[in-house]
Amino acid sequence: MPAVSFQSISKTYRTPKGVFRALNDVNLDIEEGEFFGLLGPNGAGKTTLISILAGLARADGGRVLVQGSDVQADYAEARRKLGIVPQELVFDPFFNVREALRFQSGYFGVKHNDAWIDELLHSLGLSDKAESNMRQLSGGMKRRVLVAQALVHKPPIIVLDEPTAGVDVELRQTLWHFIAKLNKQGHTVLLTTHYLEEAEALCSRVAMLKQGEIVRLSSMSDLLKSASANVLQFKTNHPLPEHLRTLARVTGRIVQIPAHDAGDIEGYLSALREAGVAVEDMEIRRADLEDVFLNIMGEARTATGSVA
């Protein structure tokens, strides 16, 4: 039995401009113990899918099962199995951190779990904030409390919706160390993130969403194997020749061009020299998940004739 099963999920919204289809017949099983990534550009449907999983939105068609429990027909049991960290910073301003965790425990009928609360506070770097009012915390600390609240009832399935958006490097490292440990202990993890290096480092399998549909479902190893063999990367202050500009990904001064073999690289360098483009810090690296992601999203855009 899958930990989470999305079965033919569709969802539409009515807007002033008409009907917007957020999800279109999504079928996806996440296995027990997986560290699974749900990736896609803004508006792809990731948060809508998680909202349906959490019971915060109702699908127009299909159903979602959490370890066999239907999120609509058996909401309480399904929700008890989930620990969800939302994108938004939602908190009660009237309680301190420890009180907030105790109240969250009570929502799931969990009592006398102070030892586990202490472990969460320690693991997430919140021990010195335990008696602080939630209003006094920084955004990063509030994010840590949201993670602790999601885990306070020891759910077998952890859902992280952009958990490190806008937070510092220290929190990201602390969070991933703790979540990776829980995953090794058998917890299933579902992650959405725009930080593709995080997904590449943590996830064993990923699904890529675009315009409400799954355009790729694969193991991380197979995804990376499908990429171009290498990427030529360098810095420059000069404009690229037109034929290279159509191939390249440019971020500020950094230029990255996919290269299938040594002949491609030689050709690119020759064209740069002929155009008088001075390059710095040149390197040849293996393609990563970001390269694969952009390629797949580009293929999906071409197939649908739409603009991202």
Measured CA to CA, the distance from residue 34 to residue 295 in angstroms comes to 25
Strands (E), the chain: 4-15, 18-30, 35-39, 61-66, 69-70, 82-85, 157-161, 188-192, 205-210, 213-219, 230-235, 249-251, 254-259, 280-286
Q: Residue 53 is which amino acid?
A: L
User: pLDDT category, 292, cuts 50, 70, 90?
Assistant: confident
- Cβ contacts of 9 within 8 Å, gap of 6 or more: 23, 25, 26, 27, 49, 52, 59, 61, 62, 63, 64
184 & 241 share domain: no
Segments forming the whole domain that contains residue 146: 4-224
Q: What is the pLDDT of residues 242-276, one digit of tens each?
A: 888 888 888 889 998 888 888 889 999 999 998 99
In a domain, 306, yes or no: no
In a domain, 298, yes or no: no
38 & 103 share domain: yes
Least confident of 6-10, 140-144, 152-156, 200-204: 140-144
Pairing of strands 213-219, 188-192: unpaired
Backbone angles phi, psi at 279, to 5 degrees: -120, 150
Q: What is the pLDDT of residues 172-224, one digit of tens each?
A: 888 888 899 999 999 999 999 888 888 999 999 999 999 999 999 999 988 88
- Please state whether the predicted TM-score (pTM) of the whole model is above 0.75: yes
Q: What is the pLDDT of residues 11-66, one digit of tens each?
A: 998 888 888 889 999 999 999 999 999 999 888 889 899 999 998 899 999 999 99
Measured CA to CA, the distance from residue 133 to residue 231 in angstroms comes to 49
> pLDDT at position 300, please?
54
User: pLDDT category, 307, cuts 50, 70, 90?
Assistant: very low
Last residue of a domain, one of 224, 243, 268: 224
Percent share of the chain, pLDDT over 70: 96
241 & 155 share domain: no
Domains of the chain: total: 2
> pLDDT at position 155, please?
94
166 & 258 share domain: no
Last residue of a domain, one of 208, 224, 240: 224
126 & 249 share domain: no
Q: Is 239 helix (H, G, I), strand (E, B) or coil?
A: coil
140 & 276 share domain: no
> pLDDT at position 243, please?
86
Pairing of strands 205-210, 35-39: parallel
290-294 average pLDDT score: 82
pLDDT at 135 over 90: no
282-291 average pLDDT score: 85
Measured CA to CA, the distance from residue 54 to residue 28 in angstroms comes to 16
Q: For 55-210, where are the alpha helices, taking DSSP H only?
A: 75-80, 97-107, 114-123, 139-151, 169-184, 196-202
Place of tokens 């938004």: 88
Place of tokens 């370890």: 67
Domain CATH for 63: 3.40.50.300
